[in-house]
Structure 1
Amino acid sequence: MDSLTQIVLGASVGEAVLGRKAGNKAMLYGAIAGTIPDFDVFASHFTDTVTALAIHRGFTHSILFSILFAPVFGWLVSRYETYKNFKGWSWLFFWAFLTHPILDAHTTWGTQLFWPLDLRLAFKTIFVIDPIYTLPFLVFLILVLFQKRTSKQRRLYNTLGLTISTIYLGLTFLLKGLAFTKFENALQNQNITFKQIDTRPSPLNTVLWSANIETKKEYLLANYSFFDTQSITFDAYPKHHDLLGDLANNDTVKRMIAISEGWYTIIKKDGDLYYNDLRFGLLSLEPGSQAFVFQYKIEVDDFGRVTFIEQAKDKRDAKKLMTDLWLRAKGN
């Protein structure tokens, strides 16, 4: 999830664990702890694109990280804070560290919660930024700040924030299931034979859902809003995996395919190959658009080493997409 959401969650968890004893300091350190797992993004400055993608939401988003580093941070804080309880601070950091990847596991990218096992949990039930999840949570957290440390109202507001956000998170599984059924029924009604379906919410909401459908030679992309009155339409994107040629046996390419969970297409443009990660969809709702959120140019040096270069995104596409998504969410 976005940084603001993780700060709010971390602060609320800090309050729940240690608020009565440490007051607003518990919220402060909970907020800090809620951002620490995302420090793995700095790996992109020191390594290649594929390795950075593999590292992201890996070790720092694992149970093991929470177990190992919670006591370290707990000890550091207990050394200079007025409240000296090492165990209390350690528990605060543990739960703030752990709830971060648990929340991230609900997004499309997912997390390696059980690192070092090569297993990425990605429930794909909520977009990385969702105001319906974050804003009510934030409001209750602000109300907490204005209450005395031992106030019953303080605990009530924090509990309400945690409860409402968690109920909404649970509701997204139901919404995902309903959307999946709609896509599946549409495919059957249109006599489309498919191998698998992958669904996810569109940006900033859980009303409009997107789907990737794999067939033998192509992928189908589609959108569905709970306010739709017309049939679902599917746009076809040829896989063109054969364009990789011998590169398909390259270790870097194999890693990239594994990261994308096999959801990718290859296009050839001006003699160059481009890798499109389908998991995050397009920056456009126009049929046949090639404006993928994550597109990489494949470069091969004289020594046969492969590099993936992420292509820059056009800000105008993103702005237009927000308007188009709002209109599309209201139904077709």
Structure 2
Amino acid sequence: MDSLTQIVLGAAVGEAVLGKKVGNKAMLYGAIAGTIPDLDVLSRYFADTVTAIEWHRGFSHSIFFSMLFSPVFGWLISKLERKQNVAWQDWSWLMFWGLFTHPVLDAFTTWGTQLFWPFDVRLAFQSIFVIDPLYTLPFLVLLILAMRRKKTDPKRERYNRLGLSISTGYLAATVVLKGMAYQRFEMALEAQGIAYSDIDTRPTPFNTMLWTANVDTEDAYLIANFSFFDEEQIAFQAYPKNHELLGELAANDKVKRLEAITGGWFTITKRDGMLFFNDLRFGPISLDPNESQFAFSYKLEENGGKVKVEEMPKMRGDAKKLLRELWLRMWGN
């Protein structure tokens, strides 16, 4: 999830663990704990593109990381906050839950997380977008209300608990909505007589009313959108896999690692003599049926037997256009 959401969650968890003892400092250190796992994004400055992608939401988002570093951070805080008269074990418990709930929440997003690192298992329930105002805003408001109360005020605990309950309830609701959307995509495929081997569904940005499905067929991937306000039949757009365009590059280590990252959901396109590896999990940059560019696309360049992978930049104008299209599409076809 986005940084603000993780800060809010971490602060609320910190409050639940130590708020009665240290007041707003529990929220402060909880917020810090909720931020720490995402420092793995710094890897982009010293690692190649593929390695940085692999490291993102890897080690720092694992149970192992939470267990290993929570005592270290807890001990450091106990030294900084000697006047609080709180044992380092209590600070460690706060840090553990702040660190651990971060990847648990991330597991519900499209990118997912390697919660059980070093085992090669990525959890991605794909039921909530990385930024969802309906999850974050009520949570934030209730956290601020709790923050404004004294640590001994019963309303402080009630506000915080309500924020945790509402956000958790909404997260559970997204799983139910995902199941309902998945069923509608299945029904549409059956009604249209489309043979397929797999379906991958996810919410579109900032909402859980409009959903996208990737469908694996023999020679192409189909992409479709469904809104709970739709009245017309779901339309599927085909994108040729073109995996054969990779040629000998298909055996390259970096390319194979990219394939593993996408879970096999990728297409290859060729423009101006260059090959592009398109990650289908995040869809095209437009709802236009003729759109051929994707949100996450990587240029593959071979030079002297080595392959360079370069992530294509995202244009702000494309994002604004897509958001306008999604807003209109969300209200039905």
Where does 1:222-301 land on structure 2 (aligned, <5 Å)? Answer: 222-301=224-303
Q: Deviations over 1:279-305 (max 9, x none)?
A: 111221100201200011101121x11
Measure, in 1, the Cα distance between the counterparts of 2:292 and 2:26. Answer: 47
Q: Deviations over 1:58-87 (max 9, x none)?
A: 000000000000000000000120223111
Aligned to 1:69: 69
Aligned to 2:197: 195
Q: Deviations over 1:101-121 (max 9, x none)?
A: 000000000000000000000
| 3-state SS, counterpart of residue 200 of structure 2 | strand
Report the AA paired with residue 331 of structure 1: G
Measure, in 1, the Cα distance between the counterparts of 2:145 and 2:218. Answer: 54
Where does 1:294-313 land on structure 2 (aligned, <5 Å)? Answer: 294-302=296-304, 304-313=305-314
Measure, in 1, the Cα distance between the counterparts of 2:170 and 2:155. Answer: 22
Measure, in 1, the Cα distance between the counterparts of 2:119 and 2:153. Answer: 43
Aligned to 2:33: 33
Measure, in 2, the Cα distance between the counterparts of 1:48 and 1:187. Answer: 40
Aligned to 1:212: 214
Aligned to 1:315: 316
Task: Tell me, yes or no, if structure 1 residue 52 matches structure 2 residue 52.
Answer: yes
Q: Deviations over 1:160-188 (max 9, x none)?
A: 00000000000011100000000000000
How far has the Cα of 1:317 moved from its partner? 1.1
Measure, in 2, the Cα distance between the counterparts of 1:92 and 1:219. Answer: 45
Report the AA paired with residue 319 of structure 1: K
How far has the Cα of 1:316 moved from its partner? 1.0
Report the AA paired with residue 318 of structure 1: A
Aligned to 2:327: 326
Cα 1:151–1:278 change in 2 (3 A) is same
Measure, in 1, the Cα distance between the counterparts of 2:221 and 2:24. Answer: 51
Where does 1:23-172 land on structure 2 (aligned, <5 Å)? Answer: 23-81=23-81, 82-83=83-84, 84-172=86-174
Scaled by the length of structure 2, the TM-score of the pair is 0.99
Measure, in 2, the Cα distance between the counterparts of 1:245 and 1:146. Answer: 62
Measure, in 2, the Cα distance between the counterparts of 1:224 and 1:102. Answer: 27
What stretches of structure 1 of length at least 5 have no aligned partner? none
Measure, in 2, the Cα distance between the counterparts of 1:80 and 1:119. Answer: 37
Instruction: Select between 175-184 and 81-90 the one with higher mean Cα deviation.
Output: 81-90
Instruction: Select between 78-87 and 102-111 the one with higher mean Cα deviation.
Output: 78-87
Scaled by the length of structure 1, the TM-score of the pair is 0.99
Measure, in 2, the Cα distance between the counterparts of 1:22 and 1:299. Answer: 55
Measure, in 2, the Cα distance between the counterparts of 1:85 and 1:113. Answer: 28
Measure, in 2, the Cα distance between the counterparts of 1:103 and 1:124. Answer: 11
Measure, in 1, the Cα distance between the counterparts of 2:255 and 2:80. Answer: 49
Measure, in 2, the Cα distance between the counterparts of 1:60 and 1:80. Answer: 24
Aligned to 1:10: 10
Fraction of identical pairs, as percent:
62
How far has the Cα of 1:37 moved from its partner? 0.2
| 3-state SS, counterpart of residue 322 of structure 1 | helix
Equivalent pairs counted in the alignment come to 331
| 3-state SS, counterpart of residue 112 of structure 2 | coil
| 3-state SS, counterpart of residue 289 of structure 2 | coil
Report the AA paired with residue 123 of structure 2: L
Report the AA paired with residue 275 of structure 1: F
Report the AA paired with residue 307 of structure 1: K
Report the AA paired with residue 70 of structure 1: S
| 3-state SS, counterpart of residue 10 of structure 1 | helix
Report the AA paired with residue 214 of structure 2: N
Report the AA paired with residue 218 of structure 1: A
Q: Deviations over 1:224-273 (max 9, x none)?
A: 00000000000000000000001111111111100010000001111110
Report the AA paired with residue 175 of structure 1: L
